Amino acid sequence: MRVRKRKGAEEHLANHPQYVILNPEDAKGKWYEVFGNNNPIHIEVGSGKGAFITGMALQNPHINYIGIDIQLSVLSYALDKVLESGATNVKLLRVDGSSLTNYFEDAEVDMMYLNFSDPWPKTKHEKRRLTYKTFLDTYKQILPEHGEIHFKTDNRGLFEYSLASFSQYGMTLKQVWLDLHASNYEGNVMTEYEAKFSSKGQVIYRVEAVFN
Ligand SMILES: C[S@@+](CC[C@H](N)C(=O)[O-])C[C@H]1O[C@@H](n2cnc3c(N)ncnc32)[C@H](O)[C@@H]1O
């Protein structure tokens, strides 16, 4: 998803260093200092406009959340949501999900979310999918032993691909939902894409995958 450039986005982010971590390499191994506590850290890679990370932060005040997105304008909209919400347990990072080991020590992240990741349907773009094996190498390093990825999407092709990618990587599929909204799953926090696609009648898939 490409979002149109937002005027003043860079300045907006720079003006809120309490939420937007501008030199994240300095935070590596010291995220507990950034948050000022030792609460668990959960990240979302490709957090978009921030509805999920903000909703989760409000729902779980004893967890620290970090929303990560590569697009500056998108992150600036996420910042608006964080500011509106008043949540204090959420930070935002503008970095590429492939480079997370530059910003997190081994096992520094307690768990992670991928929501409605770009599907990159062409085989020649497989390496860009956030569930491709090189991304899994990165996630495995920053998560603890038996760390978990919770992944939601409306895209059946990406879901099938990701289930296979997790399995081929030796991960355990702890639970799979083929229609999340019709299930008895409690406490679901919707993302922007989830709200949009489910309102059009699309089924939402979800999986919890665990590294071994
Ligand atoms: C389709 S949008 C979904 C946004 C949000 N998770 C939702 O469900 O509404 C995918 C997001 O992932 C971000 N993204 C794509 N590749 C990324 C990468 N390598 N690292 C970080 N973010 C990435 C995009 O900028 C975009 O905001």
Q: How would DSSP label each residue in 125-169?
A: GGGGSTTSHHHHHHHHHHS-TT-EEEEEES-HHHHHHHHHHHHHT
pLDDT recorded at residue 4: 82
> 92: Cβ below 6 Å to ligand 1?
no
Question: Which atom of ligand 1 is nearest to 98's Cα?
Answer: 19
Low-confidence ranges of the chain (pLDDT < 70): 1
Using one digit for the tens of pLDDT, what is the confidence trace for 162-173?
A: 999 999 999 999
pLDDT recorded at residue 3: 78
> 118: Cβ below 6 Å to ligand 1?
yes
pLDDT recorded at residue 159: 98
3-state secondary structure 92-122: EECCCHHHHHHCCCCCCCCEEEEECCCCCCC
pLDDT recorded at residue 27: 98
Q: Whose CA is nearest to atom 4 of ligand 1?
A: 48
> 108: Cβ below 6 Å to ligand 1?
no
pLDDT recorded at residue 15: 97
Q: Is the pTM higher than 0.85?
A: yes
Name the catalytic one among 118, 137, 154, 179.
118
